Structure 1
Amino acid sequence: MNVSRDGGEYRWALPSVLLGDGEGRPVKRSTRDWVVDTAMFLVAAALTVLTVPDLEKFPQPVQVTEQVVGALACVAVWLRRRYPVVLSLALTLLSSGLLLVGGAAMVALFTVAVHRPFKISGFALLANLITALPYSYFRPDAVMGPTLTSVTAIGLGLMVWTWGMLVRARRQLVWSLRKQADGAADEARRLERERIAREMHDVLAHRLSILSLHAGALEFRKDAPPDEVAKAAAAIRDSAHQALEDLRGVIGVLRHGQGAAPSDTAVPERPQPTLADLADLVAECRRAGMDVTLRLPELDETPQSLGRNAYRIVQEALTNARKHADGAPVTVAVGGRPGDGLSVEVRNPALARPGPRIPGQVLTGIPGAGAGLIGLTERAELSGGRLEHGRRADGDFVVRAWLPWTP
């Protein structure tokens, strides 16, 4: 114990290692806490009442003292949440000489075992076991005698302490499982947001690059015929509309993930692209002025996720070709079969080949985030495949992917 002088008064305090964190702090009880505390009070009171007949052999003053102190000990049980360690030690010391304090002391020991770590509850248990010896010697049971009385008291203390430790271990296990579940939910939300970010990068980069192509054509060909200007303007309008639709869908998903009201989040997901949509993607690029050759043989019906991943790889590769190899012809080759996997290759010269430009082949410095190929690699690896990219000896830039195709 420590002694400190404060304002001319001496104050005694137990070491903090024995008190534990939270000792003496105000307690806000929930409905469940009130029910449990009431049950603990009733248990202490019941044990006290059951031991009252054992006082008949003692003088009347001793019986009155026992009854008053026992009643006060039962009332003190209501302080078990705010002062568990202090209450347990005080009641343990009183129980070494008083009979009717034993029930409240057991409740206090149980509370310490539940709410404090082993280094603190173990000390409380040790104090309880030590005080059982003088009680058994000075006030032994008439039938059991001092030895059997001390063994019974020690066994009861160990049983109550063990019960409290089991309750504490169960609570810690439940807390740990809840924490793991919360962590898993957070991880799932993070992965979902990363998936949405990849989808938005693939979709918006393609849409905006097409839009930039047509806008660059209008800027380059200021004397273009009215029908070409109208066609480019229509393409810009369609690309902007599609980009807004994609953005709206993703915002709807994000709002749903943040717990918005169901009426505000009833945004249906747009159909995901598959291999069957590659022809439309290539046709859109051709209308924007790209020279794209598609080699897509007849394939068995592919799983939806496989087709979507292949489509996104081709889409991002075409977007990069528009950014970095303006005017160069691009070859897209897709092939495979169940069991062997699906292969995707997009090839284009690393630099644009010289030659006349046509409207729609003008790029006005489309910026890049530098994450497209990294995202494609991650997409392929997450699906169990692989992706490689780079410039080859013949000068062509190649994006080649292999994706597993389970029969």
Structure 2
Amino acid sequence: MVPEPRPLPGPRWLLPSALTAEADPDRTGRSGRPRRTVRDWIVDFGCFLLAVVIGLLAADTVSGDPNIPPGLAVADQWLGALACAAVWLRRRWPLALAVAMVPVGLLSNTASGAGMVVLFTLAVHRPFPYVGWVAGVTLSLVPFVFWLRPDPDLPYAAAVALTVLVTVSVVGWGMFVRSKRQLLLSLRDRARRAETEAELRAEQAQRLARESIAREMHDVLAHRLTLLSVHAGALEFRPDAPREEVARAAGVIRESAHEALQDLREIIGVLRANEGGDASGRPQPTLSALDALVRESRDAGMKVHLDHRVGDPAGVPASVGRTAYRIAQEGLTNARKHAPGAEVSVSVAGAPGDGLTVRVSNPAPVGPVPAVPGSGQGLIGLTERATLAGGRLDHGGREDGGFEVRAWLPWS
């Protein structure tokens, strides 16, 4: 399973370059701040070059303006140079640098290019409330700046309108870039989550498949191995039995062992198959195989009374019929282990729309019960089977000391 990316500590909007860097060791330095990539260096150099070019153009207008004293023009150019140098810090402290550029832009025309770059960076890396406050203060000071230092080439109103338009455009462009990056991060995070959920679903499907195979192995093999255990125990406790009875028990043991091996090969074939389905091609038992199951139990020496009231067993849905077969099989297996010699009653009845009822019951054993090992998971697995099929299953002791399994399965 792919782990989800570890979130960066603290609110995401307080982190430097939160929208351009991920919590990735390849992008994060020892100090915890994201390292600049080649693209970042190119973009930063381009922003610095743009700030310098605009600053040089503004410096020419300042130095050529006779209304500005030479000392003030020199100070203006020095402030502009420092502002251009500060552009390299825009990724680390975008908000603090933007706030500092407000009074600098009021005092220096040469710093106007750096101010626009810093304002754009603020719009990219910080939410709108911070951008709105800084941009609002900057726009409110524009009329005062041109009243204090009029533009020699443009009228007052045109200069103010042009500066406001450029400032709003820079802020809008920065917010557009921020929204685009947020969308990309959201899509990337959604893709990670989708991949993680897909792997979790695959693991869950594998787990359910393993549980289904384990349940199938128990249902199939327990019936066969119980026959082996019961008849082997009978031969052990009655070594002086007649030859015919010994031969019949040996035949049942041989047949049960052969069937158990065959069923085990089928299950292993399913596990080894690259594609879904039964690799052996042998169909799973349904309600139509119930007569053969009862006949096999009778051949093994059990007394079984079958009350089959389903007129067309082939018309029962395959999943419902298979579940009913497994319930009857497990009931016969438990009766053979815990009530040997008792007559077992198996009844199946139902119709489309009414559902299918399966009942397996046996009275109390008449003699001592041999100790046959059991896991106790068979009835639990049958309850799960019935529930998954949309039905229910109950089991418990009877008043006469016997045991009964009752199940109802939907038949639409």
TM-score, normalised via structure 1 length: 0.69
CA displacement at 1:46 relative to structure 2: 7.0
Residue segments in structure 2 that go unaligned for 5+ positions in a row: 1-8, 29-36, 61-76, 105-110, 147-157
1:200-232 deviation digits (Å, cap 9, x = unpaired): 221122111111012112202212345544443
CA displacement at 1:126 relative to structure 2: 5.4
Question: What SS does the corresponding residue of 1:342 show, helix, strand or coil?
Answer: strand
Specify which of 346, 349, 352 is matched with residue 338 of structure 1.
Answer: 352
The equivalences for 1:2-401 within 5 A come to: 18-19=14-15, 26-27=25-26, 54-55=54-55, 57-59=57-59, 73=88, 86=92, 99=113, 106=120, 110=124, 121-122=126-127, 128=131, 132=135, 142=159, 144-226=161-243, 228-254=245-271, 262=274, 267-268=279-280, 270-297=282-309, 298-300=311-313, 301-349=315-363, 351-353=364-366, 364-401=370-407
Alpha-carbon distance in 2 for matches of 1:226, 1:56: 117
Alpha-carbon distance in 2 for matches of 1:279, 1:205: 19
Contact in 2 for aligned 1:386/1:401 (Cα 8 Å): yes
Amino acid at match of 1:377: T
Residue segments in structure 1 that go unaligned for 5+ positions in a row: 1-14, 30-36, 78-83, 113-120, 257-261, 355-361
CA displacement at 1:106 relative to structure 2: 5.0
- How many residues are treated as equivalent by the alignment? 351
Mean CA deviation greater in 203-212 or 293-302? 293-302
Larger Rg: 2
CA displacement at 1:95 relative to structure 2: 7.4
Question: What SS does the corresponding residue of 1:177 show, helix, strand or coil?
Answer: helix
Question: What SS does the corresponding residue of 2:359 show, helix, strand or coil?
Answer: strand
User: Could you say what the CA RMSD is over the residues aligned between the two structures, in angstroms?
Assistant: 4.3
Contact in 1 for aligned 2:396/2:403 (Cα 8 Å): yes
Distance 1:234 1:107, change over 3 A: farther
> Percent identical across equivalent pairs?
44
Question: What SS does the corresponding residue of 2:57 show, helix, strand or coil?
Answer: coil
Mean CA deviation greater in 161-170 or 309-318? 161-170
Contact in 2 for aligned 1:328/1:352 (Cα 8 Å): yes
1:327-346 deviation digits (Å, cap 9, x = unpaired): 10001111222122111111
Distance 1:177 1:273, change over 3 A: same
Distance 1:394 1:215, change over 3 A: closer
Alpha-carbon distance in 1 for matches of 2:176, 2:317: 60
CA displacement at 1:172 relative to structure 2: 3.3
Question: What SS does the corresponding residue of 2:312 show, helix, strand or coil?
Answer: coil
1:92-138 deviation digits (Å, cap 9, x = unpaired): 5797665268669857965x5xxxxxxxx54xx65555554676658
Question: What SS does the corresponding residue of 1:189 show, helix, strand or coil?
Answer: helix
Contact in 1 for aligned 2:116/2:167 (Cα 8 Å): no
1:168-196 deviation digits (Å, cap 9, x = unpaired): 33333333333333333333223222222
1:127-154 deviation digits (Å, cap 9, x = unpaired): 5555546766589995734544443343
CA displacement at 1:163 relative to structure 2: 2.8
TM-score, normalised via structure 2 length: 0.68
